[in-house]
Structure 1
Amino acid sequence: MPSHHTEEEDKPCRACSDFKSWSKKTKAKIPTTSKPEPPAVQNKECPLDKEELGNATWGFLHTLASYYPEKPSKIEADNMVKFFNIFSQFYPCEPCAQDFQEDIQKNPPKTKTREELAKWLCDRHNTVNEKLGKPLFDCSKVHERWRDGWLDGSCD
């Protein structure tokens, strides 16, 4: 298995840590003002519905793309193409899987760089958003949303 170690891995990883651990590593201060607790969410250990599955899946895929190597090896790039093709075959929502398969046939995964993959995936997501009548996402902000946090510090 190829190593994914880069200089960036020496930085604390938001996706690999809880907030308090990440905050200690980055020396970020935890806000001292107490925020109201969010309303208790009913713990329903039930299968995900289409919307829950879609939201979780897009979050995972965008995070994956944002942590993809900046300059992947040929093997890593080829494996990412394979991943998306296999993923599209086994996605549990059959109409969604079919749509995604058709979309990636017309627009094959772009995996030469992190930026290229993140932009390609954002475009695929916006294709779905457009079909569903949802707002389009500004693809220039993918890493803020799924890796670094918003520039205004609201994720810190």
Structure 2
Amino acid sequence: MMSSHRQYDDEPHEAVASMGRKVCRVCDDFKSWRKNKNEEPRSPSCPLDREELGRNTWSFIHTMAAYYPRKPTEQQQCEMKQFIESFSKFYPCVDCAEDLRKNIKLNPPKVGGRVDLSRWFCEQHNIVNLKLGKQQFDCSKVLERWKNGWKDGSCD
């Protein structure tokens, strides 16, 4: 049975599993991984699992968008589009990457400025949250969350 997942070290998942080695953590869905997970806390020096990868990725993506120029040059806009396109091809969670590529076709990235890009990524994150049964984030507060800090001063 061929896996739909790819691995960048050119070693197919089925071959890895048949050799008695662990399959890619970021490629396994969280529920399956959780069933097989040892209940002892694992070392922070271990590879990220799918949930950790997602959480860390969204933190990076939202922060990057929050610091994107308010009025980017045409070159910066082109580079951001290229980044998003490349990101959607090389993201280690293959299912996640495929979903992102589909979403990009349906709703191309808005790279006209910081607010537009931040909202676009927030909308993409909310699509994932909906799929996972998680709460939606109010995208009108994305810069407050990822750049300026909450108005109540709790981040000061």
Q: Give your verdict on TM over 0.5.
A: yes
Is 1:143 the counterpart of 2:139? The answer is: no
Give the superposed CA RMSD.
1.2
SS in 2 for 1:109: coil
SS in 2 for 1:119: helix
User: What do residues 28-79 of structure 1 show as CA deviations (whole Å, max 9, x unaligned)?
Assistant: xxxxxxxxxxxxx974310000010000000000000000000000000011
Q: Which runs of 4+ in 1 moved over 6 A?
A: none
Residue 108 (structure 2) pairs with residue 108 (structure 1): yes
Q: Percent identity?
A: 54
Secondary structure at the aligned position of 2:135 is classed as coil
> When the two structures are superposed, what TM-score results if normalisation uses the length of structure 1?
0.72
Q: How many residues align?
A: 116
Whole-angstrom distance in 2 between the partners of 1:44 and 1:131: 27
The equivalent of 2:53 in structure 1 is 53
Aligned twin of 2:22: none
Instruction: Tell me how far apart the structure 1 counterparts of residues 64 and 52 of structure 2 sit (CA, whole Å).
Output: 18
Q: 1:95 matched to which residue of 2?
A: 95
Instruction: For 1:153 and 1:42, locate their aligned partners in 2 and report how far apart those are by CA, in whole Å.
Output: 34
Normalized against structure 2, the TM-score is what?
Answer: 0.72
Determine which structure has greater relative contact order: mean sequence separation of CA pairs < 8 Å that are 6+ residues apart, divided by chain length.
1
Q: Tell me which amino acid in the other structure corresponds to 1:146.
A: W
Q: Which residue of 2 aligns with 1:62?
A: 62
Aligned-partner residue type, residue 83 of structure 2? F
Q: Unaligned 5+ residue runs, structure 1?
A: 1-40
